[in-house]
């Protein structure tokens, strides 16, 4: 008797199939399942338009001659949505109906498809089989002559089950003559994100930005010689897809330095990059392509600390706290022809020294930013920029007011001067009674200071406020 699990593992190791697809194929070979092995047609001139976690796929149908009532079956991803399928055909050929067939993409979907089917349970040391019918998938229950029995998936044989080992859309056609036209559908599991490599030159306060796009295909469908349109922005969706989780990933580099990277255009709702090179996108793989030509922008590292002023008496705490650092990037103005928005994705910062040596300084997720607008990349906590806060006075003025005084000390133990933005959030109506010259009333019920702390400097600040309830 063949061990199903052992054979499944061997198939996965030899051919590199996903566990779910290998499960279906092994079942077809070992357990008597009949897979649908009819020829599937493929689209040509494929165009992929990607929006975050989904894509619209469009391609040319095969140039064949069809007769009244003919059917045409096209291979598609298992994540395609039937409601999104559209065909544009040249008269006199028309589409009468679409039928979507999916391969089981999980153990649970496999068992759901097998409910009501004849099954053999292998039991005991001799692995003798008991015949029955699968009646429940969670937990696995089989109806036998002796009654209901629990079963393990590894011990089941399906002698006459027919399942798809591929996903497809079947078109039933009307009319006679040559077929000309296109098919379009939406599918989850085809996604993209931007990756920005930022080389920061602190002496010049400039950053050199290389924009890349990582395209992910977590489906079982491969696409050859496809064009890519990548969209930054978010369209309204009734059923929003969940983020895809690939079973495994192969990363390849598909860009050439001497290529014109992409054409950019705005549709009003989103910004689109139309890549000029066509790409191959294998199933369950990632590729990385140049999004647009590199560009420079103004940039500056700064430190920002936000503290909450307590409106009640608390213990004095003068312990030093570290301050988070950020890189603020100001791209070209919106009037600049080369200006483009920043797409949602990942930004990685590399500091370039005067000796042209690079070291990794931090990375952060960035949201979509309109063209010409500045954006920030969080770098982490700076151990050489520290703040101490000390309460110097607290008075209760009746039931509806408090008077609070604080001393602040900023210290820079680093090797260079530092720009620090200080935000003291009061969180209520207040009056600034007295303050150091560097501090002023800011927006959103706060006290702010835009400071330059020299290398080795200790800067002392103070303020007194009256909070009104």
Q: Are residues 86 and 221 in the same domain?
A: no
Q: Are residues 280 and 405 in the same domain?
A: no
Q: Are residues 312 and 180 in the same domain?
A: no
Q: Are residues 401 and 262 in the same domain?
A: no
Among the listed residues 409, 420, 416, 427, the one whose alpha carbon sits nearest the alpha carbon of residue 321: 409
Residue 128 lies in a domain: no
Domain ranges, residue 26: 1-45+56-117+158-188
Residue 61 burial by Cβ neighbours in a 10 Å radius (0-12, 13-18, 19+): buried
The model carries a pTM of 0.73
Handedness of CA 19, 25, 29, 31 (dihedral sign): positive
Q: Are residues 228 and 172 in the same domain?
A: no
Question: What pLDDT sits at residue 233?
Answer: 72
CATH assignment of the domain containing 315: 2.60.40
CA distances to 188, 304, 305, 310, 408 from 404, in Å: 55, 23, 20, 9, 13
Last residue of a domain, one of 188, 208, 233: 188
Q: For residue 50, list its beta bridge partners.
A: 55, 230
Residue 143 lies in a domain: no
Residue 309 lies in a domain: yes
Q: Are residues 231 and 311 in the same domain?
A: no
Tell me what the pLDDT averaged over the chain comes to: 82
Rounded Cα distance between 327 and 330, Å, is: 10
Residue 135 lies in a domain: no
Question: What pLDDT sits at residue 258?
Answer: 36
Q: For residue 432, list its beta bridge partners.
A: 465
- The number of folded domains in the chain is 3
Question: What pLDDT sits at residue 53?
Answer: 80
Q: Are residues 180 and 277 in the same domain?
A: no
Residue 129 lies in a domain: no
Q: Are residues 237 and 366 in the same domain?
A: yes
Q: Are residues 343 and 422 in the same domain?
A: no
Question: What pLDDT sits at residue 335?
Answer: 58
Q: Are residues 208 and 338 in the same domain?
A: yes
Residue 122 lies in a domain: no
Question: What pLDDT sits at residue 13?
Answer: 41
- Here the tokens at position 398 are 């009746």
Residue 406 lies in a domain: yes
Residue 50 lies in a domain: no
Q: Are residues 275 and 315 in the same domain?
A: no
Q: Is 51 left (phi over 0), alpha (psi -120 to 50) or beta?
A: beta
Last residue of a domain, one of 169, 188, 207: 188
Residue pLDDT, tens place only, 317-328: 567 888 999 999
Q: Are residues 80 and 217 in the same domain?
A: no
- What would the DSSP string read from start to end of 131-189? EEEEEEETTEEEEETTEEEE--GGGEE-TT-EE-SS-EEEEEEES-EE--EEEEEEEES
Cα-trace Rg, the chain: 32
Low-confidence ranges of the chain (pLDDT < 70): 1-39, 103-107, 109, 124-127, 161-165, 234-269, 313-318, 333-339
Last residue of a domain, one of 188, 210, 242: 188
Rounded Cα distance between 435 and 447, Å, is: 10
């Amino acid at each position: 008797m063949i061990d199903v699990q052992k054979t499944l593992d061997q198939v996965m190791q030899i051919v590199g199939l996903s566990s779910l697809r290998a499960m279906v194929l092994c079942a077809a070979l070992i357990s008597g399942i009949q897979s649908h092995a009819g020829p599937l047609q493929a689209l040509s001139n494929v165009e992929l338009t990607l929006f975050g976690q989904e894509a619209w796929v469009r391609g040319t149908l095969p140039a064949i001659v069809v007769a009244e009532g003919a059917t045409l079956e096209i291979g598609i991803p298992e994540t395609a949505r039937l409601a999104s399928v559209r065909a544009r055909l040249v008269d006199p050929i028309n589409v009468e109906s679409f039928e979507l067939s999916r391969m089981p993409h999980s153990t649970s979907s496999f068992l759901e498809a097998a409910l009501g089917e004849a099954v053999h349970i292998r039991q005991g040391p001799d692995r003798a089989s008991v015949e029955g019918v699968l009646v429940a998938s969670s937990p696995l229950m089989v109806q036998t002559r002796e009654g209901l029995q629990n079963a393990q998936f590894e011990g089941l044989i399906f002698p006459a089950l027919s399942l798809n080992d591929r996903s497809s859309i079947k078109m039933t056609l009307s009319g006679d003559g040559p077929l000309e036209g296109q098919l379009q559908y939406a599918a989850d599991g085809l996604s993209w994100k931007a990756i920005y490599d930022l080389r920061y030159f602190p002496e010049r306060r400039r950053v050199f930005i290389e924009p890349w796009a990582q395209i992910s295909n977590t489906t079982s469908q491969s696409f050859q010689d496809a064009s890519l349109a990548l969209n930054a922005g978010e369209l309204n969706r009734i059923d929003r897809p969940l983020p895809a989780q690939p079973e495994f990933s192969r990363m390849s580099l598909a860009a050439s330095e001497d290529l014109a990277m992409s054409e950019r255009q705005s549709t009003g709702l989103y910004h689109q990059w139309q890549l000029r090179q066509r790409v191959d996108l294998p199933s369950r793989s990632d590729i990385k392509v140049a999004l647009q030509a590199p560009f420079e922008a103004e940039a500056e590292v700064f430190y920002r600390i936000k503290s909450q002023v307590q409106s009640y008496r608390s213990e004095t705490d003068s312990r030093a706290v570290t301050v988070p650092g950020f890189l603020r990037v100001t791209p070209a103005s919106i009037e600049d022809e080369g200006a483009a928005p920043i797409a949602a994705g990942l930004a990685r910062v590399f500091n370039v020294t005067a000796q042209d040596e690079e070291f990794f300084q931090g990375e952060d997720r960035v949201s979509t930013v309109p063209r010409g607008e500045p954006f920030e990349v969080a770098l982490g906590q700076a151990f050489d920029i520290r703040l101490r806060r000390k309460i110097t006075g607290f008075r209760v003025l009746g039931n509806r007011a408090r008077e609070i005084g604080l001393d602040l000390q900023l210290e820079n133990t680093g090797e260079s001067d530092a720009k620090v933005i200080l935000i003291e959030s009061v969180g209520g109506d207040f009056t600034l009674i007295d303050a150091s010259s560097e501090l002023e009333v800011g927006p959103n019920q706060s006290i702010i200071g835009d400071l330059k702390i020299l290398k080795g400097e200790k800067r002392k600040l103070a303020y007194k406020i009256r909070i009104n309830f």
